[in-house]
Every structure is written in C-alpha cells, then in structure tokens.
Homo-oligomer: A and B are copies of this chain.
Amino acid sequence: MDGGAGDWQHQRMTETPPRRDHGVPAAVPRVRLVDVAREAGLSKTTVSAALNGTGRLSPAVRERAREVARRLGYRPNPTARLLRAGHARLIGYAVGEYPTGPGSYMDSPYFTQLTSAIATTALRHGYALVLLPTGSSPDEWADLPLDAAIVADPLADDPLVEGFIAARIPLSSDRSVEGRSGTHWVDVDAEAAVREVLDHLRAQGARRIAVVAPDTPTSFYTAALDAYRRWCAEQGATPLVTLSTRPGNGPAVEAVERSLTTPDRPDALFMLTEANPPLVLDAARRLGLSVPADLLLVCASEDTSAAHADPPVTTLSLQPVSVAEKGVELLVAALESGSLEPTGALVRTRLEIRTSSERGGEPAGGAALRRRGRQEAEYTSAPPT
C-alpha cells in the first residue's frame, strides 16, 4: 500500500546521502534545500532566505544561492511548506445530491458553469479546488489538507455537510446550513424568480400555466414549486405540475409530453427541469403545437442553445456564475479573517425574454419558412386555446 516511496524513508540519516542508483525504478531522491546549501557552501537558512527574497543577505550570496538552486533544479517541497504555513489553500468541492456518471444531473450546463466558475473564482483568490466524490464519507477527504469546502445542492441533513461541520471545516452551501457556526450560504431567490416568470407569462396572455419540475428534494426546486402553488392560489388558478423523475433529456421530454397532453391543455409551459430547449420545442411541435402561438415557453436553463433555437427560447438563468462567485467570496473572507461567524447571500435570477414567450412573436420555423415562401399553415393552424 505504501509501495515504493516508504522503502527509502530512513536511508538518508547520514550527512552524505547514499544516492544508490541500483534498483530498476531508479527513484532519484529530490534535491532538497540542504543539498543546495551544501553545494553552495551556505546554510539552509541563508538559501531559504535567498530564494524567498527575505532576510538580510548580501547581493552576492543571494545570487550564488539562486544560481546553485537553478543549476541543481531545486524545487521546494510543497508539503513541507504547507506544514509550516498551517494552511493548504485548498477548497474541497462536492455535489451533494446527484450520482455521477453520464446522464446524471452533473452533466447539465448549470453544474458545468457552476463548477467552472467556482474553480475560476477560487483560483483568483489563491485557492485551488479539489473535486470530491459525491456522497463521500469523511475518510475519503480526511487525508486532504482542506481549508474549506463547498457543497452544491446538498440533501436535507446531508452527511457530507455534517461531516465538514463536525470536522470544523468552514463550509459554503445553500440555505440548509444557515446559521451554523463556520458555515456560509448562497442561494437564488426562488420565490422572486418564479413570480417574475409567472407574471411575465400572464402578462403575455397565458391563463393555464403548467410547470415541469424534477422530482428531487433540492431546495431550489421545492421552493420554486411552493412559490408556484402560492401564486396559483393568489390568482385562483389550479396548479398544473408534472414531475420528471429521472435526470436527462429523455425523461424531461417525456414529462413535457405528459404535461401537454392533459385533457385541458396548458397554454404556457414553465420548464423548471433543466432540459435542452430545442428538444422541448421539438416535443411541442410533435404534438402539433406552435410556439409561441399555441404555447408560451420559458425554460429554466443555462443552455446556450436556447438563444439559437427556432424560435429563440426565453430562459430563466439561475446565475451559476454569480452563485459561485458569492459562495467563494464569503468563504474566502471568513478564511482570511479567521471568523466563524455565519454569513449568507441571496442571488437574483435573470429572465432572458425571447420569442418563445411573446404572444406577438414568430412561430417555430416561421421566419425561415416564410422567407423561402413556403406554406406554414400546418404549424400556425393548431387548435386554438
């Protein structure tokens, strides 16, 4: 288990290390600070100061130390530095809920952008990101010198979250950790987001707004569905909810089809489940519905294909980049100040209104087909509301 490296642990007890080069792997020992010092005829203290630009050293000595270090190809041992420094500038990152592998939620543009933005922001603050297995037990990361951790979309009472808190590792996550010592939360304002979408659809004339949402206990989705039901109650409308049970485009499209084939068909669809917008349009088209003429469509999605779809699809962006930046910033601020004070922030979503949710908008394929002088009655003559 310790294979190889452990075997020559105690070989360097003498002053002149026995650099044996028999043995096949020829594991050449790294050149250390003392090696440079001996070669330069200086002490390790002096060499250390020379390389780090600290201490009181004559220019001549400083340059000599540097030259020798360069010549020997010296690279300081990061682990030893970390042990002295007391921190590793490493942040663990885990996604709470979802199993990995192709076809999982992890593949969605939301998580891609979130992960990417967290990494970028952390690095800008001098921290590197370590990818942790989802749903891992503490012993999987106990050997890692983590200064802090970020858990995206944790389960309720997530063991990961509990593990980090128990280990007194500062944590950034969603509102479920609110108020606990050493934790920080960032969340999107689901209530405001949902109201903005629903109000927009209603303003465009929608009367029966259906929602397709994933069947997960993630806080955003439960909060969003709650907000939707409240809004419906206020408006005196009956909630039309269809749940997509598994991740991926297939189940999402299937849920869309179920939602749109109810006896009393909706005239607007709010896709909370993240799906590829063009596929949602395809589904509507297959059912003989023209968007936006017969059906207004808003997708909660970060997929850039929404803007290029035909017609362009209105999207609700959950602003993963903002969430990432805020989460990292709260964490780094607490880390630098050494404070255990819990903090939090709410991020506003962004509704990008495009043709798919505008009553006066172009129908699917309309622009191109009309331009080429083709008949498009098949699409615009779908059953009216």
Contact = CB atoms under 8 A, between A and B. Distances in A.
Interface of A: 2-6, 9, 24-27, 73, 75-83, 85-90, 100-103, 106-107, 109, 112-113, 116, 119-120, 123, 128-133, 140-146, 167-168, 248-250, 253, 276, 278-279, 282, 285-288, 302-305, 307-310, 321, 336-340, 365, 367-369, 372, 374-375, 378
Contacts of A100: 116, 119-120
Given A78-B143, A107-B116, A5 B85 contact: yes
Contacts of A279: 278, 305, 308-309
Contact of A305 (B76, B249, B286): B249
B308 A249 contact: yes
B143 A132 contact: no
Contacts of A310: 282, 285-286
Contact of A25 (B83, B112, B250, B337): B337
Nearest to A129: B131
B307 A250 contact: yes
Given A129-B130, A130-B130, A130-B131, 18 more contacts: A5-B86, A75-B142, A76-B142, A79-B79, A79-B88, A79-B145, A80-B83, A100-B116, A100-B119, A102-B321, A123-B133, A128-B144, A249-B308, A250-B308, A278-B282, A278-B305, A287-B368, A375-B378
Contacts of A365: 285-286
Contacts of A309: 278-279, 282
A79 B26 CA distance: 26
The 8 lowest CB-CB distance pairs between A and B, nearest first, are: A286-B368, A25-B338, A278-B278, A276-B305, A119-B131, A78-B145, A5-B86, A4-B338
A222 to B, nearest CB: 26
A89 B144 CA distance: 9
A9 B87 CA distance: 12
A2 B339 contact: no
Nearest to A252: B308
30 contacts: A3-B336, A4-B336, A5-B85, A5-B86, A25-B338, A25-B340, A73-B168, A75-B142, A77-B145, A78-B88, A78-B143, A78-B145, A79-B145, A80-B83, A81-B143, A100-B120, A101-B116, A102-B302, A103-B304, A107-B304, A120-B133, A123-B140, A248-B304, A249-B305, A250-B304, A250-B307, A278-B278, A278-B282, A282-B308, A378-B378
Nearest to A106: B116
A102 B307 CA distance: 14
A163 to B, nearest CB: 11
Given A85-B5, A100-B120, A321-B102, A285 B133 contact: no
